[in-house]
Amino acid sequence: MKKILLFLAVSFCIGNSYVQAQAVAKPQHNTQASRKLTEQQKIDALIRYVAGLQGATFIRNGSEYAAKDAAEHLELKRKKAGDRVKTARDFIDGLATESYLSGKPYQIRMKDGKTYSSREVLLKELARLEK
């Protein structure tokens, strides 16, 4: 009888530990992370993305800039645009793809040497953000 009680007690503890371990292993539902981003949050995220592109070179009007400098430039353009930029697409199409003065498209040369239009890169990142 003692062996049966001992077996049941050990089984219960092991089973209970397994259930607790499974509960810990499951990703917790985070309501804040699962909320959709506002358009302004998407724009903020795009600017942070630009700032964080390690080894990338931004080409604006024939001059080359580091990622951080490019992000600062985009933030300045955003502030100057004010309420005219309502969505992340407005930001990409209206501010982050070409020079207002020359009309020349912005380009990004990645660390691997490949060059893309900033529009292409930012639309790809926006699609990732919106998933």
Average pLDDT over residues 6-11: 43
pTM: predicted TM-score of the whole model, two decimal places: 0.73
Domain boundaries, the chain: 2-27, 34-129
pLDDT tens, position by position, 68-97:
999 999 999 999 999 999 999 999 999 999
pLDDT of residue 123 exceeding 60, the answer is yes
| Helix-helix angle 39-51:67-81, to 10 degrees | 150
Cα distance between residue 70 and residue 53, in whole Å: 10
What is the three-class DSSP state of 106?
coil
pLDDT band at 35; cut points 50, 70, 90: confident
Cα distance between residue 48 and residue 86, in whole Å: 18
pLDDT band at 124; cut points 50, 70, 90: very high
